[in-house]
């Protein structure tokens, strides 16, 4: 039995009016922290202590939830695993519908723990209870001022960023850092093992929360991919950025990694592709996660991708330019009209460029800051302006308030959003906030690298999600005949049949069951041919000598090639599957070879991989990935991301590829993989030959799931 995790249920959990601390004890740090938080937020009168002792934390306690005698929204369960079933039953008997389970020893503890967690979830669902956890430390609702957690939570003004974490132990450090850099939080939710409520459920709830404008998530795994995917699409449509620090990586199972396509993918690379498809920003440290989420909440969606920098320091300009180059951030060249406007502002010895050093002249005339920010923001390629200058954080005398005021005036006059950038990672204190308020500055990002990371990510997110809809993209229909056999590996000949039925262009080929038939096929082509053994049990034909190339279309050479490849196949697999014959195809020369494959990821479903093929598969060890479906436009963007894409554009005198036609074929291969359904393990076209407008699959492989 599974309870639906609805918005109404999450509202009753995350916006409780009363809380029962079950297992309250003066000896428990979890209990002491949870009770202290509730008292400090003024909720002592709505907090009930359930304990074997008559008095806990200096207050009267009751032995069971059923004896509280008042409606309670959340039971905060701090009891050992052995006592959890009885605690759930007691809470349900008291009419409580939501429980936070702190106990560990569940799925994180191995197979026995996973079984115990499954039983915990089943038992709770049978009682009509929704669980947060287990193995977590609760949540804090800063918007309503309700902390239900065993993490020290100081009272603070609510902010626009929600923080979700699968790690409760890291959450305290995250809270401290968010306070240090002035990233205001609407919620903190520690998720633990997500036995019932997952990150996707909470994210979906926060999409509709008016006080949350961005969501930061620390996760080790996505436990409910479809719920997360649906919520992420809704967040993109609602202009709410998601910033994820995803830890951990591994490879796909050995049976898919044995193929070329599988070897070019892995769980972590698939996550990158899925996040990119959903417009989810991925970062690699806590600091970047929180600062980027704060910047996204403050700046909102940018109308243009370019970042403009106005700085009091030439050295800072150099650092920003270097970090932008590292990250691929867009610091566009300024338009002629922008250069003219800035030239009229800058001293004669200044250099008009982006990043812009306003020089020491701005110290004498702070309005240079104001006018430069306004001019930079008006550039047709600039979507956000970062202004580099110092700002106070200690109560010492600060001589630079006039510059803060001038920058604030420029930010208010700017044509688009802007952010104040401090050169170093320094705290945002009450002194800082007073300076910001005096100058009318709304957003400060501490640190040059952090600013480039944050602004680059916000610009990327703005473009990636600008046209994202809440629902998944439509999947084109591909006519696919129902195969008689859907298991194991298919021969190249059988795979070619599927591609041909789907309208994917193939190099001509004829199946020959004898040397005489091979001679006849080669004569029909009238040009040198390739001869390849056909057997479902030999996926890598070249490795065993099962391929002969450039065979003259004459009787003797063709017969010799036929005999060589069939004998090689028999020697390689003496007790193996039957050899179906050989494929005879005309030789192809020139052009560029691509690998286009689809592998079924166990979490996210079919994932498309595109790589420069031939020897470059091993040399470059690079592919670009995308979850299916993929449109022709999206396939074209994948080609743009290949490091070796220059070979498609006619490098070294080659014929430029018809990018549009190639993208359409790649998308069609993806559509075919989807049409083949969940039985498909992998589909690979390797190589897909591209020679100008001619595009042909030269080889193909299909593998079905072994349990299909």
Domain 302-464 and domain 508-586, same fold? Reply is no
β-bridge pairing 306-311 and 382-388: parallel
Expressed in percent and rounded to 5, the helix, strand and coil fractions of the chain are 40, 20, 40
- For domain 1-135, the CATH architecture is 3-Layer(aba) Sandwich (3.40)
pLDDT of 257 strictly over 80: no
> Residue range 409-419: average pLDDT?
97
**pTM of structure:** 0.91
- For domain 508-586, the CATH architecture is 2-Layer Sandwich (3.30)
Structure-model confidence comparison of residues 242 and 646, the more confident one: 242
Length of the chain: 708
- The whole-angstrom distance between residue 293's C-alpha and the CA centroid of its chain comes to 14
Angle at 501 between CA 498 and CA 502, to 5 degrees: 90
Q: 499-527 burial by CB neighbour count: b if 16+ within 10 A, else e?
A: beebebebbebbbbeebebbbebbeebee
Q: Which fold has domain 302-464?
A: Rossmann fold (3.40.50)
Q: How far apart are CA 533 and CA 209, in angstroms?
A: 61
Domain positions in the chain:
1-135, 302-464, 508-586, 592-704
Could you read off the pLDDT of 47-105 as tens digits, one per residue?
999 999 999 999 999 999 999 999 999 999 999 999 999 999 999 999 999 999 999 99
Q: Which residues lie below 8 Å from residue 399, measured CB to CB, with a gap of 6+?
A: none
Using CA of residue 662, residue 663, residue 669, residue 672, what is the dihedral sign?
negative
592-704 has which CATH code?
3.30.470.20
Could you read off the pLDDT of 319-365 as tens digits, one per residue?
999 999 999 999 999 999 999 999 999 999 999 999 999 999 999 99
End-to-end CA separation in angstroms for the chain: 27
- The pLDDT value given to residue 666: 96
- Please state whether 278 falls in left (phi above 0), alpha (psi between -120 and 50) or beta: alpha
- The pLDDT value given to residue 268: 82
- Number of other CB atoms surrounding residue 673 within 10 Å: 28
- Pair of tokens at residue 357: 């050093």
> Residue range 438-454: average pLDDT?
96
Strand partners, 534: 581
């Amino acid at each position: 039995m599974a309870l639906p995790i609805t918005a109404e249920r999450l509202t009753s959990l995350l916006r409780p009016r009363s809380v029962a601390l079950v297992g309250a004890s003066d000896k428990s740090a979890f209990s002491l922290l949870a009770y202290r938080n509730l008292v400090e937020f003024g909720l002592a009168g709505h907090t009930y202590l359930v304990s074997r002792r008559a008095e806990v934390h200096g207050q009267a306690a009751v032995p069971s939830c059923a004896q509280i005698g008042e409606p309670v929204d959340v039971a905060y369960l701090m009891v050992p695993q052995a006592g959890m079933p009885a605690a759930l039953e007691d809470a349900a008997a008291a009419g409580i519908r939501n429980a936070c389970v702190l106990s560990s020893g569940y799925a994180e503890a191995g197979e026995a723990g996973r079984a115990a967690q499954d039983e915990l979830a089943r038992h709770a669902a049978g009682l009509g209870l929704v669980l947060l956890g287990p193995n977590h430390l609760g949540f804090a609702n800063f918007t309503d001022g309700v902390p239900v957690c065993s993490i020290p939570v100081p009272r603070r003004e609510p902010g626009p960023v929600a923080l979700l974490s699968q790690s409760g132990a890291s959450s305290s450090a995250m809270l401290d850092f968010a306070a240090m850099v002035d990233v205001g939080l609407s919620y903190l939710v520690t998720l633990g093992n997500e036995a019932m409520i997952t990150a996707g459920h909470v994210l979906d709830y926060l999409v509709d929360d008016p006080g949350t404008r961005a969501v930061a998530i620390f996760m080790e795994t996505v436990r409910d991919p479809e719920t997360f995917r649906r919520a992420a699409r809704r967040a993109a449509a609602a202009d709410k950025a998601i910033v994820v620090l995803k830890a951990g990586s591994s490879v796909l199972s050995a049976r898919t990694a044995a193929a070329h396509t599988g070897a070019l993918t892995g769980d972590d690379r698939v996550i990158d592709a899925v996040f990119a498809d959903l417009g989810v920003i991925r970062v690699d440290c806590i600091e970047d996660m929180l600062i980027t989420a704060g910047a996204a909440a403050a700046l909102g969606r940018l109308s243009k991708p370019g970042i403009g920098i106005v700085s009091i320091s030439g050295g800072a300009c150099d650092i920003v330019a270097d970090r932008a180059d590292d990250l691929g951030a867009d610091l566009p060249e300024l338009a002629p009209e922008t250069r003219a406007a800035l030239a009229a502002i800058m001293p004669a010895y200044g250099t008009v460029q982006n990043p812009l050093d306003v020089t020491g002249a701005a110290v004498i005339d702070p309005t240079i800051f104001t006018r430069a920010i306004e001019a930079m923001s008006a550039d047709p390629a600039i979507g956000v302006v970062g202004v580099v200058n110092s700002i106070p954080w200690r109560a010492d005398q600060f001589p630079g308030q006039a510059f803060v005021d001038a920058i604030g005036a420029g930010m208010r006059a700017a044509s688009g959003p802007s952010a104040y950038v401090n050169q170093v990672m320094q705290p945002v204190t009450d002194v800082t906030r007073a300076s910001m308020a005096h100058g009318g500055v709304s957003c400060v990002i501490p640190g040059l690298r952090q600013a480039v990371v944050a602004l680059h990510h916000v610009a990327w997110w703005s473009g990636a999600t600008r046209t994202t809809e809440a629902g998944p993209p439509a999947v084109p229909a591909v006519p696919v005949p129902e195969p008689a056999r859907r298991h194991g590996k298919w021969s190249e000949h059988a795979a070619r049949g599927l591609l041909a039925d789907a309208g994917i262009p193939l190099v001509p080929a004829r199946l020959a069951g004898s040397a005489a038939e091979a001679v006849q096929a080669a004569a029909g082509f009238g040009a040198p041919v390739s001869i390849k053994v056909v057997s479902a049990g030999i996926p890598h034909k070249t490795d065993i000598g099962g391929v002969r190339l450039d065979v003259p279309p004459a009787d003797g050479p063709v017969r010799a090639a036929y005999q060589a490849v069939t004998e090689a196949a028999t020697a390689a697999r003496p007790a193996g599957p039957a050899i179906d014959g050989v494929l005879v195809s005309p030789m192809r020369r020139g052009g560029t070879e691509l690998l286009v494959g689809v592998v079924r990821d166990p979490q996210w479903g079919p994932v498309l991989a595109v790589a420069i093929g031939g020897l470059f598969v091993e040399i470059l060890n690079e592919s670009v990935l995308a979850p299916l479906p993929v449109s022709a436009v999206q396939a074209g963007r994948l080609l743009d991301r290949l490091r070796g894409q220059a070979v498609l554009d006619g490098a070294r005198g080659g014929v430029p590829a018809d990018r549009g036609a190639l993208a359409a074929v790649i998308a069609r291969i993806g559509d075919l993989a989807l049409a083949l359904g969940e039985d498909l393990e992998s589909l690979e076209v390797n190589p897909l030959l591209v020679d100008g407008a001619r595009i042909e699959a030269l080889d193909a492989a299909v593998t079905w799931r072994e349990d299909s």
